[in-house]
């Protein structure tokens, strides 16, 4: 009896493993470019980090398998909402520290923060034009999003659209400095309204880029939407896996004013669904910050 069970278990395991290999698109979470963390690490990262991320990757692969088994069981489930959202527990202030911060479908907002000191894996410099010359942190993006943003800029260029990147990755420490300076200058209430608290900025995920164009002198302003470039971005970003993260009219849901310049990588499939149904990331996962 025991042997029969074992035999059955290994059959299921073999089946699940081969399903994983054959159908990457079903996962949608981890893109191919990101699995090779050990070989493609950013120069700055230490060996310790590499080991950690290898361990985490193993854990993530196991989680993926588990998720896939479960999704097979629940074929009627319309949206495949990851388990981790149900396992997240708010602290005494109602703030959730997100689980699996490396997932590309992570949701960070005013009620949901990254773990303290979180540094995303595989930060690289995408080969796209920036509004400044220095080779600094805010040029960086996670590798998983860097390829797609290069494609996006290439697509824009081919359409005669002149996009320029302004700001990508921002570290926990930088966000903390920005927030504290704002508190000192304007008081805590004002600071909370206009700048994200450390850990709450989507820029810290490395999946986000602010873009602009010369017609609005590379500023991050609502008028960007009225430019040819802003219109093109709103219409085509999803084709490259990006969403306009803070749409107009959804301020109460996202917790942020309309930002036609702020794009966030989620992968083509999810981005297209969000674009076509005119959703926010919060609505897509039924997660409301308020």
User: Which residues contact Zn ion (rule: CB under 5 A)?
Assistant: 210, 262
> Shortest distance, CB of residue 184 to Zn ion, whole angstroms?
22
> Shortest distance, CB of residue 210 to Zn ion, whole angstroms?
4
The answer to whether residues 103 and 88 touch, using CB atoms and an 8 Å cutoff, is no
CB nearer Zn ion, residue 57 or residue 225? 225
CA distance 40 to 52: 14
Tokens of 138: 């805010």
CB nearer Zn ion, residue 105 or residue 210? 210
Could you tell me the sign of the dihedral formed by the alpha carbons of 199, 205, 208, 209, in that order? positive
> Shortest distance, CB of residue 243 to Zn ion, whole angstroms?
13
> Shortest distance, CB of residue 135 to Zn ion, whole angstroms?
20
CA distance 256 to 276: 21
* Residue of closest CB approach to Zn ion: 262
> Shortest distance, CB of residue 42 to Zn ion, whole angstroms?
22
CB nearer Zn ion, residue 38 or residue 257? 257
CB nearer Zn ion, residue 105 or residue 202? 202
Could you tell me the sign of the dihedral formed by the alpha carbons of 52, 54, 55, 60, in that order? positive
CB nearer Zn ion, residue 37 or residue 171? 171
DSSP code string of 110-178 = TTEEPPTT---SSEE--SS-BSS----GGG-EEHHHHHHHHHHHHHHHHTT---EEEE----HHHHHHH
């Amino acid at each position: 009896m025991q042997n029969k069970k074992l035999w059955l278990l290994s059959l299921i395991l073999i089946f699940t493993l081969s399903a994983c290999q054959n159908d990457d698109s079903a996962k949608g979470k981890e893109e191919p470019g990101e699995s090779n963390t050990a070989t493609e690490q950013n120069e700055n990262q230490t060996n310790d980090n590499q080991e950690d991320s290898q361990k985490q990757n193993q854990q993530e692969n196991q989680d993926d398998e588990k998720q896939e088994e479960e999704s097979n069981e629940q074929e009627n489930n319309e949206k495949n909402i990851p388990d981790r959202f149900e396992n997240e527990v708010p602290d005494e202030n109602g703030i959730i520290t997100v689980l699996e911060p490396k997932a590309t479908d992570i949701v960070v907002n005013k009620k949901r923060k990254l773990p303290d000191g979180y540094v995303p894996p595989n930060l690289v410099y995408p080969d796209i034009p920036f509004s400044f010359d220095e080779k600094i942190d805010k040029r960086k993006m996670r590798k998983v999003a860097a390829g797609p943003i290069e494609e996006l800029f290439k697509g824009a260029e081919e359409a005669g659209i002149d996009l320029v990147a302004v700001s990508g990755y921002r570290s926990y420490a930088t966000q903390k400095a920005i927030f504290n300076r704002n508190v000192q200058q304007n008081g805590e209430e004002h600071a909370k309204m206009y700048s994200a608290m450390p850990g709450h900025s989507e820029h810290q995920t490395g999946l986000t880029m602010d873009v602009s164009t010369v017609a609005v002198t590379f500023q991050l302003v609502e008028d960007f939407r009225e430019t040819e470039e802003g219109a093109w971005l709103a219409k085509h970003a999803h084709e490259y896996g990006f969403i306009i993260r803070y749409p107009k009219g959804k301020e109460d849901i996202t917790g942020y004013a309309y930002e036609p310049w702020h794009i966030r990588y989620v992968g083509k499939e999810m981005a297209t669904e969000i674009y076509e149904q005119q959703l926010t990331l919060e609505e897509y996962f039924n997660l409301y910050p308020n």
